[in-house]
A and B are shown apart, each in its own frame.
Chain A
């Protein structure tokens, strides 16, 4: 059986792109800003790998749009925002996640979770 960290990593791997798309709903953001938004929602990626390759894939797939702009007095940054295809992908992905989560909850919900954290 995989250890806790390994399982968490695998679970995240399937939905981290949705999480990134979700934080972009708050507005355009550059890479590190998205990391902070994720952290603000309780999702820390420390130990899980960086988001840059994933952002690159989202960009290549046309799910995000990018533009360069000066950040608060800092150097020009690459800002990512949802494209219309990204919005559709996010909605479809969330539906899929919820269905999967409900099914898993159905399977695991009856288990008496008395195991410590």
Chain B
């Protein structure tokens, strides 16, 4: 019995029921359950089949009384939009940079040359091309990376490629996270209890 009431309290807290009202409902419920018990009855005598689902019962009661508060600020909905934009832009940029850098740094293929000319124009290449301006990963990291990937590319390009791939994986996971099949339980709950109006 006590567990049932406590479970109801937890549900009311989640639903934003003001404490005084939750206390009142809990007191009434406790008194009725105790009376039934004293008469040799069971919780089912008081609650019917709701005795087996305290959360559903509590939600139905609070909803019927109209005492549920506004939905508690959903942490995810709060940070989703800005993070979504930042993630998309940053990781997308990494992916594009990785692809370009790999092409530009992959030697003398026609695609690499063409890309180089499109990106940096004619003349000396300062960033990705060979020469003094070239960015090179430290030896212990650069060579193994090239060996693992098996591509004859610029070490920096390989690093960007890895970051880009990881970024795309993160985007995929983010899309799954935001999908309706992965919605938080709270949102589904606020759509209303799946219960008869008087249950």
Task: Answer yes or no: A117 CB below 8 A from chain B CBs.
Answer: no
A75-114 interface mask toward B, CB cutoff 8 Å, 1 = contact, 0 = none? 1111000000000000000000000000000000000000
| Contact A53 B32, beta carbon cutoff 8 Å | no
The complex places the Cα of A48 from the Cα of B46 at a distance, in Å, of 11
Task: Answer yes or no: B49 CB below 8 A from chain A CBs.
Answer: yes
Closest to B63 in A: A53
Interface of B (DSSP majority class): helix
A57-79 interface mask toward B, CB cutoff 8 Å, 1 = contact, 0 = none? 10110000000000100111110
Interface size class of B (residues with CB under 8 A): 20 to 34
| Contact B45 A50, beta carbon cutoff 8 Å | no
The complex places the Cα of A58 from the Cα of B162 at a distance, in Å, of 62
The complex places the Cα of A114 from the Cα of B195 at a distance, in Å, of 35
The complex places the Cα of A10 from the Cα of B112 at a distance, in Å, of 73
Task: Answer yes or no: A31 CB below 8 A from chain B CBs.
Answer: yes
Closest to B65 in A: A56
| Contact A17 B31, beta carbon cutoff 8 Å | no
Chain A residues with CB under 8 A of B196: 9, 13, 49
Partner of B61, one of A16, A52, A77: A52
Chain A residues with CB under 8 A of B47: 49-50, 52
Chain B residues with CB under 8 A of A53: 57, 60-61, 63-65, 195, 197-199
The complex places the Cα of A101 from the Cα of B28 at a distance, in Å, of 35
Task: Answer yes or no: B27 CB below 8 A from chain A CBs.
Answer: yes
| Contact B198 A57, beta carbon cutoff 8 Å | yes
Closest to A76 in B: B27
Partner of A49, one of B30, B66, B199: B199
> Given A49-B198, A50-B47, A54-B197, A60–B35 Cβ distance below 8 Å?
no
| Contact B32 A31, beta carbon cutoff 8 Å | yes
Q: Which residues of B contact A (CB under 8 A)?
A: 24-25, 27-32, 35-36, 44-51, 57, 60-66, 195-199
- Other CB < 8 Å A-B pairs besides A30-B28, A32-B31, A77-B31, 14 of them? A9-B196, A31-B29, A32-B46, A48-B49, A49-B198, A50-B48, A52-B29, A53-B60, A53-B195, A53-B197, A57-B197, A57-B198, A60-B65, A75-B27
12 A–B contact pairs at CB < 8 A? Answer: A13-B196, A46-B44, A47-B44, A47-B49, A50-B50, A52-B57, A53-B64, A54-B64, A54-B197, A56-B62, A60-B64, A71-B31
